[in-house]
Structure 1
Amino acid sequence: MKKRIHVLEDDQDIRYIIEFLLKDEGYELQLSSTFAELKSKLNDALPDLFIIDVMLPDGNGIEICDDLKTDMFTKHIPVIVMSANPESKEKSVTAQADAYISKPFDLDYVVKRIERLLVK
């Protein structure tokens, strides 16, 4: 069974790159560009992993990560936080993110982080 990854990223180009990369690696994807879109898609099916950008048009990825990690239905799901802002790394740890990826990112590094989190 394919592992499902939900990517919350408002930048269309970055979302496309991640989609292309992860589909090539054999993952099933759910894509959202807003927090509202993510919430509506969670009603359909829970993913095996979240990748969340910090700067979003309708929310902050750090706060969204914290919400996911304190919700009884999603707290067991690994969350990777992505940001171009170095200050977000420390904040993502406080929000209980399972991993942090700096933008711009190395594609191989992203795949390895995901594989490590999904093996658990």
Structure 2
Amino acid sequence: MVKRIHVLEDDTDIRYIIEYLLKDEGYELQLSSSFEELKGKLKDSVPDLFILDVMLPDGDGAEICADLKGDLFTKHIPVIVMSANDQNKAKSLEAGADDYIKKPFDIDYIVTRIDKLIGKPVN
């Protein structure tokens, strides 16, 4: 079964790299550049994993993580928070993040972290 990942990242280049990388690994992707866009897409389908950037135009990834972990429909879904500022790590983990990745990230490392949380997709 194909696993779906929702990536909330406002930087177009980073979003493209993650999309290209994870599609190549067999994952299905949903992409958003704002929290408002993510909320709209959740009405259609719920992913197997969230990847959230911390610095967003309409929110903070750690706070969005806390919202997702506090919601009955999304609290069971693993969340990875990413940030270039390591000071966001403790805040993200306290908000319920299942993992934290520092930017810039190693491509193989991010795939390993995702596979650990939700397993490899079966094609």
Give runs of ≥4 in structure 1 deviating > 6 Å: none
In structure 2, what is the Cα distance between the partners aligned to 1:31 and 1:96?
21
Instruction: Give the AA of the match of 1:47.
Output: P
Task: Map Cα deviations across residues 6-34 of structure 1 (whole Å, 9 max, x no partner).
Answer: 00000000000000000000000000000
In structure 1, what is the Cα distance between the partners aligned to 2:28 and 2:104?
23
Equivalent residue number for residue 5 of structure 1: 5
Question: SS where residue 36 of structure 1 aligns?
Answer: helix
Q: Normalising to structure 1: TM-score of the pair?
A: 0.98
In structure 2, what is the Cα distance between the partners aligned to 1:79 and 1:45?
16
Instruction: Give the AA of the match of 1:29.
Output: L
Equivalent residue number for residue 80 of structure 1: 80
In structure 1, what is the Cα distance between the partners aligned to 2:93 and 2:58?
22
How many matched pairs? 119
For residues 1-120 of structure 1, the aligned pairs below 5 Å read: 1-119=1-119
In structure 1, what is the Cα distance between the partners aligned to 2:35 and 2:98?
19
Which structure 2 segments of 5+ residues have no match? none
In structure 2, what is the Cα distance between the partners aligned to 1:8 and 1:91?
18
Which structure 1 segments of 5+ residues have no match? none
Q: Normalising to structure 2: TM-score of the pair?
A: 0.96
